[in-house]
């Protein structure tokens, strides 16, 4: 899919231009970009399948001379209990994404469709809340979660992540709502729909690509979040994958074969979400183009 997009982009860039020099330069730059983006992933995977004798050697090879798949098959599940960390990451990221999409859809609808005095000032104020550094919320959140008994629970990461990312989601969704004609909502209201029914039955399906984009952004940012997770999770019961990998790597014994294998496995949920989201975005765009 990425290569198809690059080919389409090259056709648009060089449409009507027969200069071979520009085409060669374009493909050289694209190749450099792909290599620098994929090489760290390649090196991470190759390191995870190298046997310890080669992994800890002073001389490293681009292609391992022998392959050891035991970190994927046995070690990360037996010694790290990595399935627990993955489950925590999926629970935290999935819950945060659902909260963001539900609350953001309602707030974005109000700011995108309703006529409010001082709407721009309110929106800028909301967006400004996401510009504060995360550390500024550390002490009040820690004190609050300690009193409520939420430390070392999933909620201790879901709540601050949701509050921190919600302003961005509201700002993005209201922009999608603005692009939908008002006549469609008025027609739904004439047919007997309430404002909420018109929102969920008419507006939300038309803004599906926006929802997918915001949901994908929220899931990835929450899945990779480190600051709140490192402070508010203390045991395997609530620690997500990034914290599990980090704390396993900073001990007295540093098993880099396990750390690299766990890092590769932790990419799988994000890759699956991206693949599913791409299909939904294409379907949404095709459906809108046919209307």
Q: What are the DSSP calls for 64-101, one per residue?
A: -SS---HIIIIIHHHTS-HHHHHHHHHHHHHHHHHHHH
In the chain, the N- to C-terminal Cα span, in Å, equals 25
What average pLDDT does the segment 15-42 reach?
A: 80
At 159, is the pLDDT very low, low, confident or very high (cuts 50, 70, 90)? very high
CA distance 150 to 156: 6
- Structural tokens at position 107: 């707030």
Domain ranges in the chain are 2-68, 80-290
- Structural tokens at position 185: 């909502």
What average pLDDT does the segment 206-233 reach?
A: 88
Q: What is the pLDDT of residues 47-74, one digit of tens each?
A: 889 888 888 888 888 888 888 888 888 8
Does 89 score more than 90 pLDDT?
yes
DSSP H or E segment with residue 106? helix 82-113
The SS3 assignment for 18 reads coil
Provide the pLDDT for residue 280: 65
| Percentage, residues of the chain above pLDDT 70 | 88
Most confident by average pLDDT, 52-61, 107-116, 190-199, 266-275:
266-275
The SS3 assignment for 257 reads helix
Convert 19-35 into a string of H (helix), E (strand) and C (coil). Answer: CHHHHHHHHHHHHHHHH
Does 180 score more than 60 pLDDT?
yes
* Total-model pTM: 0.81
CA distance 260 to 43: 9
CA distance 59 to 63: 12
Ordered alpha helix ranges (H), the chain:
2-13, 20-49, 52-55, 70, 76-78, 82-113, 119-129, 138-148, 155-178, 182-190, 195-198, 204-206, 208-223, 227-232, 241-249, 256-290
What average pLDDT does the segment 252-275 reach?
A: 85
> How far are the Cα atoms of 82, 107, 223, 273 from residue 278, in angstroms, in the given order?
28, 25, 18, 9
CA distance 207 to 144: 37
What average pLDDT does the segment 70-81 reach?
A: 86
- Mean pLDDT across the chain, nearest whole number? 82
Residues sharing a CB contact under 8 Å with residue 112, sequence separation 6 or more, in sequence order = 173, 174, 175, 176, 177, 178
Topology (CATH level 3) of domain 80-290: MetI-like fold (1.10.3720)
What average pLDDT does the segment 261-271 reach?
A: 90
Are 258 and 80 contacting, i.e. CB atoms less than 8 angstroms apart? yes
Provide the pLDDT for residue 290: 46
CA distance 239 to 223: 11
CA-CA-CA-CA torsion sign (270, 96, 160, 213): positive
CA distance 32 to 76: 33
Does 289 score more than 60 pLDDT?
no
| Percentage, residues of the chain above pLDDT 90 | 24
Identify which of 130, 195, 114, 204 has the alpha carbon closest to the alpha carbon of residue 164.
130
């Amino acid at each position: 899919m990425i290569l198809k997009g690059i080919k389409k982009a090259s056709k648009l860039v060089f449409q009507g231009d027969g200069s071979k020099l520009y085409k060669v330069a374009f493909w050289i730059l694209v190749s450099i970009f792909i290599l620098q983006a994929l090489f760290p992933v390649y090196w991470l995977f190759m390191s995870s399948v190298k046997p310890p004798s080669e992994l800890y050697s002073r001389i490293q090879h681009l292609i391992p001379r022998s392959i050891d798949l035991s970190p994927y098959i046995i070690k990360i599940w037996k010694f790290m209990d990595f399935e627990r960390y993955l489950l925590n990451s999926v629970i935290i990221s999935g819950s945060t994404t659902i909260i963001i999409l539900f609350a953001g859809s309602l707030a974005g609808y109000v700011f995108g469709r309703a006529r409010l005095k001082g709407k721009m000032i309110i929106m800028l104020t909301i967006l400004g809340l996401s510009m504060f550094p995360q550390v500024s919320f550390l002490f009040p959140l820690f004190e609050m979660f300690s009193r409520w008994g939420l430390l070392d629970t999933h909620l201790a990461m879901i709540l601050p992540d949701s509050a921190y990312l919600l302003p961005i989601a509201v700002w993005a969704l209201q922009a999608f709502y603005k692009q939908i004609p008002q006549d469609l909502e008025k027609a739904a209201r004439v047919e007997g729909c309430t404002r909420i029914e018109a929102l969920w039955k008419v507006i939300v399906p038309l803004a599906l690509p926006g929802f997918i984009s915001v949901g994908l952004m929220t899931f990835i940012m929450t899945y990779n979040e480190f600051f709140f997770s490192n402070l508010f999770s203390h045991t395997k019961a609530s620690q997500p994958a990034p914290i599990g990998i980090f704390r396993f790597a900073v001990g007295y014994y540093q098993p880099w074969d396990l750390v690299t294998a766990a890092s590769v496995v932790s990419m799988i949920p994000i890759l699956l979400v991206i693949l599913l989201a791409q299909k939904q975005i294409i379907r949404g765009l095709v459906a809108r183009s046919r209307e």
